[in-house]
Amino acid sequence: MLSAYMEVIRMRFLMMLAYRVNYYSGILIYALNIGSYYFVYKAIYGGQAMISGMTLGQMTTYVAVSWMGRAFYFNNLDREIANEIRDGSVAIQFIRPYNYVFVKMMQGLGEGVFRLLLFTTPGMILIWLLLPIEFPSDPGLWLIYFVMLFFAFLINTQLNIITGLFAFFLENNEGLMRMKRVAVDLFSGLIIPISFFPGWAEGILQWLPFQAITYLPSAVFTGKITGSAIYQTLGVQVLWFGVLLLPMVVLWVKSRTRLFVQGG
């Protein structure tokens, strides 16, 4: 069974490889995006050495790592699931000898591996050549960051699968998918670091899973979070991964009795 899931990862990787030109152009788009954020924050900092516990160098690194990390964990599994539910093709998955939800996660992982090798890595090198990025010198910190980035992928994928499965109950979950995407980009700290939010808003966001997708891994990488707090933040990610398993499993079990085909 494990070999079957590995084949799913390989097939999604090869499928993404067929459209790799799109991702080469995406590197330039992300580079321009990161560059614009750099100049905006440079203007905000002005002559100030530090804002919300981050120097301009840390902020530059935070922005670059956050956006390039997004290139790895981002996927459209919610839309894929919703489309398969609408056209009824998901019914075939019910009789196949594997778990549909787990297959979707493996497909997302195959896409993530492709993005990591052909998008995130060359994109980060390009940004490093153009902007004053401060990479950590501790190999252990790099290892922890990649572990946290993997959990960021898992949590984001769980949210996507949960959102996609709601198509069983809402018939059209387009609005929910749009709302989820905005929430992830804004409340994860991708657009604005969570430490820049007002105190009351930061307190609320610390109780939501979004911070575990972008803010926590990037804050560890840039040195904003150090020492034993690093392992606490990793624990937060592990906790949210476990918490989100429950609604994902419950939705899948309940949705097996809700299938109906729109069109055909």
**Residue 170's pLDDT is what?**
80
Q: What 3-state class would DSSP assign to 172?
A: coil
- Residue identified by tokens 């803010």 is 215
**Residue 264's pLDDT is what?**
47
Tokens representing 134 are 């401060």
**Residue 262's pLDDT is what?**
52
Q: What 3-state class would DSSP assign to 51?
A: strand
* Stated pTM of the model: 0.92
**Residue 258's pLDDT is what?**
62
- Report the 10 Å Cβ neighbour count for 219: 27
Per residue of the chain (264 residues), give pLDDT as tens.
677 778 888 888 888 877 777 777 888 889 999 999 999 999 999 888 888 889 999 999 999 999 999 999 999 999 999 888 887 777 777 677 778 888 899 999 999 999 999 889 989 999 999 999 989 989 999 999 999 999 999 999 999 999 999 988 887 888 999 999 999 999 999 999 999 999 899 999 999 999 999 999 999 999 999 999 999 999 999 999 999 999 999 998 887 776 555 554
- Report the 10 Å Cβ neighbour count for 36: 11
Determine the Cα–Cα distance for residues 251 and 26; give it in Å rounded to an integer.
34
